[in-house]
């Protein structure tokens, strides 16, 4: 499987620019930080969103084709034309995009499990089938580092599935444990949702060639994991 080229170093010196993981004439993949919305929608009045930042960086229109929760960091895809947005959106909807997340979960998660549990497809929607493969790669004090590979794309799927397994993601204010979140905030400086979209592979809509990117851990997640004692090799590339 071909690996995407390393991040380009010709990104414009734009305030709050997002690291570019991959780019061509049809699509770009950036590294979204935790705390940033993908785009405006619903009742939000926020103007500083990932889509606006990428538009300023590239000085052109871009179209979001999938979403990451506000608290989730990592690889985020934008199309550079309406036609490509439709094609990429279809790939995500058809399950043709391989997504791999890194999560810090409460307690000792199973070594390997496939969770088949229905969750809402969209916020407020009815429950639909949802499947996530979970694999524990490290165990620490009152926590586990988990690789999560969702086979479907539902609302808060990974967060809901780990909650369903009684191993909610640390820092999750919706589905997590408040006392545990406060402990990890005070002891290890974890101030965010401990969920990161680490790797993404998709067939290029125009050529069919596989495009693979890996988003490095941002400092606000890497530092707490370092303090917990997670080995450097797992923090650099948990899939290696």
Which residues have a catalytic role annotated? 69
For the chain, the three-class secondary structure string (H helix, E strand, C coil) is CCCCCCCCCCCCCCCCCCCEEEECCCEEEEEECCCCCCCCCCCCCCCCCHHHHHHHHHCCCCEECCCCCCCCEEEEEEECCHHHHHHHHHHHHCCCCEEEEEEEEECCCCCEEEEECCEECCCCCCEECCEEEEEEEEEECCEEEEEEEECCCCCCHHHHHHHHCCCCECCCCCCCCHHHHHHHHHHHCCCCCCEEEEEEEEECCCCCCEEEEECCCCHHHHHHHHHHCCCHHHHHCCCC
Residue 231, phi then psi, degrees to nearest 5: -55, 145
Query: Among all chains, which residue has been given the structure tokens 């979403």?
Result: 67
**C-beta separation of 210 from 201 below 8 A:** yes
């Amino acid at each position: 499987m071909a690996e995407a080229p390393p991040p380009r170093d010709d990104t414009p010196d734009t305030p709050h620019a997002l690291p570019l993981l991959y780019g061509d004439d049809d699509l770009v993949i950036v590294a979204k930080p935790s705390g940033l919305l993908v785009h405006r929608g619903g009742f939000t009045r926020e103007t500083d969103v990932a889509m606006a930042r990428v538009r300023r960086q590239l000085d052109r229109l871009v179209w979001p084709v999938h979403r990451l929760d506000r608290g989730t960091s990592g690889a985020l895809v934008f199309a550079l034309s309406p036609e490509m947005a439709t094609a990429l959106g279809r790939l995500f909807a058809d399950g043709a995009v391989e997504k791999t997340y890194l999560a810090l979960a409460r307690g000792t998660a199973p070594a390997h499990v496939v969770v088949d549990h229905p969750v809402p497809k969209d916020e407020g929607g009815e429950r639909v089938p949802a499947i996530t493969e979970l694999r524990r790669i490290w165990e620490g004090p009152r926590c586990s580092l988990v690789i999560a590979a969702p086979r479907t794309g539902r609302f808060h799927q990974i967060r809901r599935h780990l909650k369903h397994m009684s191993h909610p993601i640390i820092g999750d204010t919706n589905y997590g444990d408040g006392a545990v979140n406060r402990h990890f905030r005070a002891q290890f400086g974890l101030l965010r949702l401990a969920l990161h979209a680490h790797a993404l592979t998709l067939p290029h809509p125009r050529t069919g060639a596989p495009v693979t990117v890996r988003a490095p851990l941002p400092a606000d997640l890497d530092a707490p994991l370092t303090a917990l004692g997670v080995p450097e090799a797992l923090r650099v590339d948990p899939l290696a």
